[in-house]
Structure formats: structure tokens, C-alpha cells
Amino acid sequence: MPHPPLRLGVNVDHVATLRNARSGPNPDPVRAALLAIEAGADGITAHLREDRRHIRDDDMARLKAEISKPLNFEMAATPEMLAIALATRPHAVCLVPERREELTTEGGLDVVGQHNALAPFIAKLNDAAIRVSLFIAAEPRQIEMAAKLRAPVIEIHTGAWCDAVVDGHTAKAEAEWQRIVAGAALARSAGLEVHAGHGLDYVTAEKIASLAEIVELNIGYYMMGEALFVGLGETVRAMRAAMDRGRQKAGEPVVAATPSDHA
């Protein structure tokens, strides 16, 4: 059986980080989103944090209004964010843990510990026909709870694996990789759609593209860094090519994602 297409979601948070370093409108994350789509991105991801340190409310509204591909709205499970998501009506909401003092989203959501608190958020988003994804570590207990909570999608946190690869910690990288391989298989067998993201670069995106269970990668920071040197369009094309190589190495023909692949 051919592998399902692998979608590339481009995270534009760090364009907003750069913009917010000064008080003006440039660089505009919506312009980056439009350019990324033109270059082959299958969707756009943006994280509206509680402290608005990068993406702001108005960016999210403009992304929803102006982009032609699905918008994946990353947010913490708070009443404020739920109200904004229900008003914005993105294609998908990815629920992430959030602590003000962290530099980035450091760990997965503890859906086992917080299932009572998360259940009403997931239900309300499901009722609004917004596709809910839970950003979790590739841990069997978390995956099983995500399925119980009726979230249709999980996004596997790839941060620990990517850090170990970049730092050259071979044994840790291998252990984290095996966790991801097993987690993706378990999630798929539990009927979940499986995405992955955090810290991916060309090397790790190529490798993870070989896992047939994974149908979407969400990537931001590395791509925005590369874009400084070669431009965003070139970076999106290079990332797409890395992902296609990974799928092909798994012995599968590469098929482009179509709108109907976004469930």
C-alpha cells in the first residue's frame, strides 16, 4: 500500500517574533504564510500564546481571512483561547501546554493528568467541527488517553529526539526515535491521525518522513532561520524535497497532498 501523502505545515510564529522586536508591522507573518503556501506548504500553523510574545490576535484573524490552505491554531486550553478559536474557526486547533517562563513549548501536554480539564475543551471544539489535535510525547499512556478523550489527532512532540540528534547524543537519539516509531504505530492503531513537530530540520524531517503513520509535520524555527540565508520560498521547497526523499526511501511513491487529505 502506498504511504499517505505527508503534509508540510509551516509555523510562522518566528516571523512575528522578529516583527515584535520593533514596534512596526514588518516582517509580516501573513506575508510569510502566503509565500510559504505559494512555495508548496500544505497548511500554516501559528501559536497564540497567552503573553502574545509573537503571534497576536489580529495576526490570527488575518491568517484565517487571507490564506487559502488550512490554518492550524496552536493554543493552551484556557477559556480565553477557546473563545478566540471558536470565533476564528480555524481548520484545526492543536492544544499545547504553556508556561510563561518557557522559551518554547518544552514538553508535551499531560493528557493523563489533565483529562478532566481537557475533556470539555475537546468536546466544544469537536462540536464546532474544528479538528482537535493534542501535542503529546510519544508515551503509550498519553496516546491511549488522547484516543479516549475523542481527539481525532495527536501531534507527537519530536523536540527531545531532535535535540539529541543535533547534540550528537547517539544513544539518546536512538531511544527517542524508537519511542516515536512505537508511539506513531500505537496511535494509528488506536484510530488517531498522527502528526509530528518541534525542532525538526532537514535531516530529522527526512528521517521521520519514512513513518507511514505520520501524515503531517509542523515546522517553524529551523525553516525561518534558513530563510534568512536562502529565502523562505527556497527553504519550503528544500524542506518539501527532504520530506519526499524520506517517503521515497521507505520505498513509496511520493504523492502530493490534495485538499481532501485534510480530514
The residues annotated as belonging to the active site are 47, 74, 198
By CB under 6 A, which span of 140-148, 185-193, 214-222, 255-263 interacts with ligand PXP? 214-222
Which one of 73, 121, 135, 177 is in contact with ligand PXP (CB under 6 A)?
Answer: 135
By CB under 6 A, which span of 20-28, 111-119, 167-175, 218-226 interacts with ligand PXP? 218-226
For residue 2, the minimal CB distance to ligand PXP (Å) is 26
Between β-strands 7-11 and 193-197, what pairing exists: parallel, antiparallel or unpaired?
Answer: unpaired
Cα separation, 237 vs 160, whole angstroms: 26
Helix (H) or strand (E) holding 10: strand 7-11
Q: Are 158 and 177 in contact (CB under 8 A)?
A: no
Which one of 187, 220, 236, 247 is in contact with ligand PXP (CB under 6 A)?
Answer: 220
**End-to-end CA, the chain:** 20
Q: Spell out, one character per residue from 18 to 57, where the chain touches ligand PXP: x when CB under 6 A holds, - when not.
A: -----------------------------x----------
Side chain identity, residue 107: G
Cβ closest to ligand PXP, residue 13 vs residue 139 = 13
Q: Is the peptide bond before 259 cis (omega within 30 degrees of 0)?
A: no
For residue 250, the minimal CB distance to ligand PXP (Å) is 22
Count of Cβ atoms closer than 10 Å to residue 188 Cβ? 18
Tracing cell 500505537 back to the chain, one arrives at 186
**Residues touching ligand PXP: how many (CB under 6 A)?**
19
